[in-house]
């Protein structure tokens, strides 16, 4: 008679977590904030950067993954350095991670109670 070999069981499902924002989403948010802070229209910034307004809009909405050359062109059009832009995006991602950690701690305390 054949021996029955048990199949490995699936690991317990993890609790659903909000996905981390993508770099392109955080970059787009920062570019839009900077442009709005300067009171500029999308078309004006796009023209100075040498890109179409549609492409810049897609970058700002996180739909495109721009090349480093495109990021530099848009940053230059907004008169910010790549270091300033990168630091602002990193700060936004850190804030998001910190807010997720606080929510996780609150959830753990509520489960313990």
C-alpha gyration radius of the chain: 22
CB 38 within 8 A of CB 66: no
Q: What CATH number is given to the structural domain containing 38?
A: 1.10.260.40
Residue-wise pLDDT for 13-67, tens only, equals: 655 667 888 999 999 999 999 999 999 999 999 999 999 999 999 999 999 999 9
**Domain assignment of residue 60, yes or no:** yes
**Domain assignment of residue 12, yes or no:** no
How many domains in the chain?
1
Round the average pLDDT of the chain to a whole number and report it.
Answer: 86
**Domain assignment of residue 8, yes or no:** no
How much of the chain exceeds pLDDT 90, in percent?
Answer: 65
**Domain assignment of residue 7, yes or no:** no
**Domain assignment of residue 106, yes or no:** yes
Backbone angles phi, psi at 48, to 5 degrees: -65, -35
Q: How far apart are CA 24 and CA 28, in angstroms?
A: 6
**Domain assignment of residue 94, yes or no:** yes
**Domain assignment of residue 4, yes or no:** no
Q: Higher confidence at residue 14 or residue 84?
A: 84
The pLDDT of 63-89, averaged and rounded, is 97
**Domain assignment of residue 5, yes or no:** no
Q: What is the pLDDT of residue 3?
A: 76
Residue 68 is part of which domain span? 23-112
């Amino acid at each position: 008679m054949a021996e029955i070999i048990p199949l490995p069981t699936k690991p317990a499902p993890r609790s659903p977590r909000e996905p981390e924002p993508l770099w392109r989403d955080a970059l787009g948010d920062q570019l839009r904030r900077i442009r709005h802070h300067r009171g500029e229209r999308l078309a004006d910034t796009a023209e100075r950067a040498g890109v179409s307004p549609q492409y810049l809009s897609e970058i700002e909405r996180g739909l495109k993954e721009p090349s480093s050359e495109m990021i530099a062109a848009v940053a230059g059009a907004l008169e910010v350095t790549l270091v300033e832009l990168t630091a602002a995006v990193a700060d936004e991602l850190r804030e998001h991670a910190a807010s997720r950690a606080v929510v996780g701690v609150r959830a753990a305390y509520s489960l313990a109670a």
